[in-house]
Amino acid sequence: MSVNIGTDQELLLENGYLNIEIDPALDIFYEIEKLKKEKNAVILAHYYQEPDIQDIADYVGDSLGLAQKAEKTNADIIVFAGVHFMAETAKILNPEKKVLLPDLNAGCSLSDSCPPDLFKLFKEKYPHHLVISYINCSAGIKALSDIICTSSNAKAIVDSLPKDQEIIFAPDKNLGAYINKTSGRNMLLWNGACMVHEIFSLEKILRLKERNPEAKIIAHPECEEAILRIADFIGSTTELLKHTEVSEFSIFIVVTEAGIIHKMQICSPYKTFISAPPDNACACNNCPHMKLNTLEKLYLCMKHELPEITMNEKLRIAAKKPIDKMLELSRSFGLGV
């Protein structure tokens, strides 16, 4: 990732974010709203962002909704409150716009688990396979893929392909295994995983369920198979949110990143949401990458228009093709926003 800046700003950005002191008396919410109008900027936030960021965002959604919003926006500046691959996707779709990410260190363990050079060698062994990659990957992986998918559209995309089409699915082995199971496929899976969704403890969730027998277990398909087997409902973050809204049940054990509970509680104020426990005593059901963004970093990033996502044009064009394919297919399925 490269950042094009002058020397002063280079110093400020040496940590991957602007490290400038903010007057404690400043009303950051007010200032962010002002900057949005002055600069014609839009804030797109993922459900895993901290509550303050979700509340000030113009749109909060899952990876598919965010990519679709990024494709359609008329703003001059897209401020991405999410992780690097999400901001990178927005830049791929909007080369003429400025795309900002409050902290460039906001990466993704799943994306990191699939380096383009190794994946290229793997792909070369299967020249007749189509490559479907989960959007949680770098632009380098996207450029090596035929179609991008998210957890909201992966099954529909796979189902739309001829039954005899051989497929490589990367980088999430858990989502891939779930799609194999639900679609009756035998896709070749890259051995990657999300550090947050792999850490949930089956034993602790079962004990929690014993203590709350009326609670329904809802899980993201990035979780391991053993967890998905005990889930009452499986879906992307948006699907989980919608499910809790329409469900006749009122207590849920939520087996995904804990940030989604903020929106679930707003949409269903009288329902109870219990965050599923990880396999140790830490707060590992919070994504450490997503949580690198703070309201303060968001404000500074909008004020100084840094850090900015930049990209090699050849790579951008190659990475855009499979994203366009996903957006086109999602439109034809009526999926997303």
Q: Residues 35, 44, 241, 287: which binds ligand SF4 (CB under 6 A)?
A: 287
Q: 234: which 2 tokens? A: 């499986």
Q: How far is the CB of 264 from ligand 13P (least distance, A)?
A: 13
Output 35 or 326, the one with its CB closest to ligand SF4: 326
Which residue spans within 176-244 are E strands per DSSP? 188-189, 216-219, 233-234
Q: How far is the CB of 24 from ligand 13P (least distance, A)?
A: 32
Cβ-contact 44, 326 below 8 angstroms: no
Q: How far is the CB of 237 from ligand SF4 (least distance, A)?
A: 9
Gap between the Cα atoms of 102 and 298, Å rounded: 5
Contact track, ligand SF4, 136-165, x by CB under 6 A:
x-----------------------------
Output 136 or 285, the one with its CB closest to ligand 13P: 136
* Residue 44 interacts with ligand SF4 (CB under 6 A): yes or no: no
Gap between the Cα atoms of 55 and 226, Å rounded: 34
Restricted to residues 136-165, the positions that interact with ligand 13P (CB under 6 A) are: 136, 150-152
- Which neighbouring-strand residues pair with 273? 252
* Residue 103 interacts with ligand SF4 (CB under 6 A): yes or no: no
> How is residue 195 annotated by DSSP?
T
Gap between the Cα atoms of 244 and 10, Å rounded: 45
Restricted to residues 226-285, the positions that interact with ligand SF4 (CB under 6 A) are: 257
Strand order of the sheet with strand 216-219?
233-234, 216-219, 251-255, 272-275
- Beta strands 233-234 and 216-219 are parallel
> How is residue 131 annotated by DSSP?
E
Q: Residues 35, 42, 54, 63: which binds ligand 13P (CB under 6 A)?
A: 63
Output 136 or 294, the one with its CB closest to ligand 13P: 136
Binding site for ligand SF4 (CB under 6 A): 83, 108-110, 136, 194-196, 257, 287, 289-290
Residues near ligand 13P, by CB under 6 A: 62-63, 136, 150-152, 194, 222, 236-237
